[in-house]
Structure formats: C-alpha cells, structure tokens
Structure 1
Amino acid sequence: MKIKQISVFLENKSGRLARVTKVLGQHDINIRALSIADTTDFGILRLIVNSPDKAFQVLKEAGFTVSITEVLAVEVTDRPGGLAEALAVLQEAEINIEYLYAFVQKATNAALVVFRVEQLDKAIEVLQNHNISIVPEEKVYSL
C-alpha cells in the first residue's frame, strides 16, 4: 500500500529540471506524477515513477541529491467533495498531512491523490476502515 516517492533537491537554476527528466528518460524511467516546491534558491522535486529504486540510483550517479520517501496514493471520485471525504477521515483520526498532490484519471473518473502524512500506517488503516481506496504500488507505477 505504500508508494516510493523520489525527492530530488534542485538548485533554482535554469536547466536543472530538464537535466533530471533527461537522465530519467535515458534510463527508460517514466514519470507517473510530479510536484515541485521551490524557494528563491532551491526546489524539491517530488516524483512518482515506474521504477523508483532504479530512478534513485541513476539520479544519485548523475550527481543529484536524492532520497526515497514513503507516501500513499488514494483514489477519490472526481466530483465536488470527493477529496473532502478523504481529508475528513484523516482529520477525524488526527493525522497530519505534510503535503499532497493529485491528478485526474479521465478513464476511471477518479483522481489519484498522493499523500505524505506523519502516521503512514495509521492513515492506511483509517482510510481502509472508511472504504477509501488506497492504490497499490504496482498499479500506481504502471499508470
């Protein structure tokens, strides 16, 4: 149920993001989802890829500062209030969300939301108990 997310520290300079994507492409690693948070001087690129362990290795070998973080992927109905239902469950269980990012899957009429939470195992249990779909890693990596 846990998904491996690649986090890459990037200097806020022209071409750094392009270099990451080029390295991944050269090694046949496909990006499934991404998010970037930046400041004036640097950014953190967060990636869900089809082969996270390989991505970690090739980016490290290319000189990037990279880490793997466990996150979870939740599927919510693509309609007003769909995300609110999952967030309410986490709030009720007093689980803090550090960050999230999402994308819509047109074919399934659902949105996939990637969560980084403080209590990952508890979040999985609580969401499952409320019949909220947690997407297994194999499915996420193959989207």
Structure 2
Amino acid sequence: MRVEQIAVFLENKSGRLAEITAVLADNGINIRALSVADTADFGILRLIVDKVELAKKVLKDNGFTVGKTNVLAVEVPDRTGGLAMVLKTIEKAGINVEYMYAFVNKSGENAVLIFRFEDMDKAIGSLQAAGFTMLTGEQICAL
C-alpha cells in the first residue's frame, strides 16, 4: 500500500534537473511521477520510478544525494472535487499533510494523488474507512 519514493537533493542551477533525468534514462529507469520544490540555493526532486533501488544507485554513483521514503498513492475520480474529498477525510481525522503532488494518466478517468502524511498509519486507516483506493508502486508503474 505504501509507495517508495526517492528524493534527490540538487543545487538550484541550470542543467541539474536535465542531468538527473539523463542518468535515469541512460539506465532504463522510467519516471512515473515527480515533484520539484526549491529554495534559493537547492531543490528537492521527488520521484516515483519503476526501478527504485537502481535509481538510487546510479544517482549516487553520479554524485547526487538521494534518500528514500514512503508515500501513499490515492486514486480518485478525475473530476471537480476529487482532491477535496480526500482532504476532507484527512481533515476530519486530524492528520497533517506534509506534502503532495498529483498526476492524471488519461483525462476523464482517475487521478493519482501522492501524499506524505505526518501519521501514515492513521491516514491509511482513515482513507480505507472512507472507501478510497490506494495504489502500490507496481500499480503506478503499470499505468
């Protein structure tokens, strides 16, 4: 139910993101979802990829600082209010969202929301009780 995500810390300068994506592409690693957050000096690239351990290795071998964490992937209908339904459930349970990002595979079908929650176990229980579908990393990579 939890999805492994890698986080790459990078300098906020031209070409660094291209360098990371080239390393992944050269090693046959497919990016399924990503988010970039930045400050003036550095950025954090969060990725869901099809080959997590290989991605960590090749990025580290190329001088990048890489971490791994678990996130939840929640599937919702791709329509107005989809995100609001999830957030209302989380709010009622008193759970803090640390960060999130989303992607849509095909418009009009389902969207996948990627969340990092302060209390992952409580979030899983609350979302399951509300009838939400959570995807595995394998399911995301198959989309």
TM-score, L = length of structure 1:
0.96
Percent of aligned pairs with the same amino acid: 56
- For the aligned residue pairs, the C-alpha RMSD in angstroms reads 1.1
TM-score, L = length of structure 2:
0.96
Summarize deviations over 1:28-77 as a string: whole Å, max 9, x none.
00000111001111100010101111111111111101100100100011
SS in 2 for 1:23: helix
Task: Write the letter of the residue equivalent to 1:124.
Answer: I
What's the counterpart of residue 118 of structure 1?
118
What's the counterpart of residue 80 of structure 2?
80
What's the counterpart of residue 93 of structure 2?
93
What's the counterpart of residue 140 of structure 2?
140
Moved over 6 A (4+): none
Q: How does 1:38-117 map to 2 (within 5 A)?
A: 38-106=38-106, 109-117=109-117
- Cα deviation for residue 121 of structure 1 reads 1.4
Q: How does 1:3-22 map to 2 (within 5 A)?
A: 3-22=3-22
Unaligned runs of 5+ in 2: none
What's the counterpart of residue 37 of structure 1?
37
- Cα deviation for residue 142 of structure 1 reads 2.5
Unaligned runs of 5+ in 1: none
Number of equivalent positions: 143
